[in-house]
Amino acid sequence: MIDNTTNPQNNNLTCLLEMRGIDKSFPGVHALKDISLTLQRGEVLALVGENGAGKSTLIKILGGAHLPDGGDIFIEGKPVQIRSPHDAQHVGISIIYQEFNLIPDLTIRENIFLGKEKTTFGFVNTSEEHRQSRLLFEKIGVDIDPDARCGDLTVSLQQIVEIAKALSLHAALIVMDEPSAALTIQEVKHLFAIIEDLKKQNMGIIYISHRLEEVFEIADRVMVLRDGEHVVTSEIKDINRNRLIEMMVGRPLESEFPKRISKVGVEHFRVKDLSHSQVVRNVHFHVSAGEVLGFAGLIGAGRTETMRMIFGADKPDSGHIFIEGREVRIRNPKDAIRHRICLLTEDRKGQGLILNHSCRENFSLPNLDQFSRGLFLDQGKERKTFSQYIKNLKIKIQSQEQMIVSLSGGNQQKVVLAKWLAKNADMIIFDEPTRGIDVGAKYEIYLLINQLAEEGKAIILISSELPEILGMSDRIIVMHEGEIKGEITDVASATQEDILYLAIS
């Protein structure tokens, strides 16, 4: 252990990690400006900020994916040079990215020891790998078969495999990037229990999340970045949610969920006895013009499957759909679009966008009929129309030809919304519209939802975030195992516990 005087920021203990004066620029962007960070053993430091604040760049420097332009990194008081991911692993740093780095066709054991196989006389010692895998899982309190195929695991189990990989590298510091984005409530609780165990084992955790309720539950300290600059680092007990949001976005928000005076009109849409196998069973509900109808439930409750059938992406076994009292047949998405229904999918990157195309092309795809003159595309009209939506929705892009994969999650979601608004839809289904989006961009999405409702659109909102459902909905329908278990009409008086009671009943 180095003498404590090597760390001027802590008079009692040498930090597990210290980053001093980290600076990084890319062409046209000063991504990090003199950033300093400390982390102790047995501590969870939450790293928060809007998309583009510099969180990912800082972590990629720590993990060896980027080289800093300036600054120093110390591990337990000793200066280290991290020029590659291998260097990071060598000094005990492991990064668990939101997109897991597992090979689906390999077993858990093979993934854990990939590149560092346990061998005897030149042959892989599978029994030794199996034994050590078991020991790793015991260390984090789970029982998983090391010979199970990774591609057959749930998201939460894949995450546990990533943690086991980190421990196999003898990591003292683990960075978790949006670890709960695709987890159920129960799986998040299990993850937090594992993190608490890791803390007791004297490991340091950097936890990145847009879900502020998790930050307050799991973190010891929180560090805020904004526009590449350090804003504040605080003990979690010394800051409240509203103050944290204000620090992240750089302005006070009167409310996390913008207020709206509900003007619910006549019934616009009704579905009756919609079923598909055991996934969706006898679902019936209605939504009116000007109404935001929330759909709550645990992952696997059947919410997304219901909306995909309404949109014609999947075929129901039975059921009836009515628009303004008249029964309609929706056999495919083209029929749904013709009836002015649009769906912002849960997986915007996989189903809502073509990532290797430009923003303009993604906007235009469902709207080519508006911009066509015979066999030719009226690019002037196309660009003019898209420009108006860029302005109205405050989409932050360098040009219409910018590749959409390079946008933040919030701006990608706005492009998806723009393409559907151009179809003049009367009913818009938002499936997890703010997943992976920072708090500032969330607020803008909420404002757009409210604006659409005020214009008389019928809105269906699916969300796994209970504060979001309670904060945005006029009514809430709760599903469980493919069935509707209840409806909450007095949303103002409802609690998260009321929703959970129905969701698990």
Tell me, letter by letter, the H, E, C secondary structure of 368-434: HHHHEECCEECHHHHHHHHHHHHHHHCCCCCCCCCEHHHCCHHHHHHHHHHHHHCCCCCEEEEECCC
Average pLDDT, the chain: 88
pLDDT for 10 beyond 70: no
Is residue 475, in this structure, part of any structural domain at all?
yes
- The domain containing residue 447 runs over which residues? 267-503
**402 Rama sector, left if φ>0, alpha if ψ -120 to 50, beta otherwise:** beta
pLDDT score of 1: 25
Within this chain, do residues 56 and 205 fall inside the same structural domain, yes or no?
A: yes
Last residue of a domain, one of 217, 248, 279: 248
Within this chain, do residues 77 and 131 fall inside the same structural domain, yes or no?
A: no
Within this chain, do residues 347 and 406 fall inside the same structural domain, yes or no?
A: yes
| Single-letter residue type at 350 | G
Residue 462 CB partners (closer than 8 Å, separation 6+): 294, 295, 303, 304, 307, 346, 429, 430, 431, 432
pLDDT, tens digit, 9 for 90 and up, residues 477-492: 999 989 999 999 999 9
**Residue 182 confidence class, pLDDT cut points 50, 70, 90:** low
Is residue 121, in this structure, part of any structural domain at all?
yes
**Total tally of structural domains belonging to the chain:** 3
pLDDT, tens digit, 9 for 90 and up, residues 253-293: 667 788 888 889 999 999 999 999 888 999 999 999 999 99
Confidence (pTM): 0.69
Within this chain, do residues 149 and 297 fall inside the same structural domain, yes or no?
A: no
Within this chain, do residues 80 and 205 fall inside the same structural domain, yes or no?
A: yes
Within this chain, do residues 408 and 434 fall inside the same structural domain, yes or no?
A: yes
* 3-class SS letters over 35-59: EEEEECCCCEEEEECCCCCCHHHHH
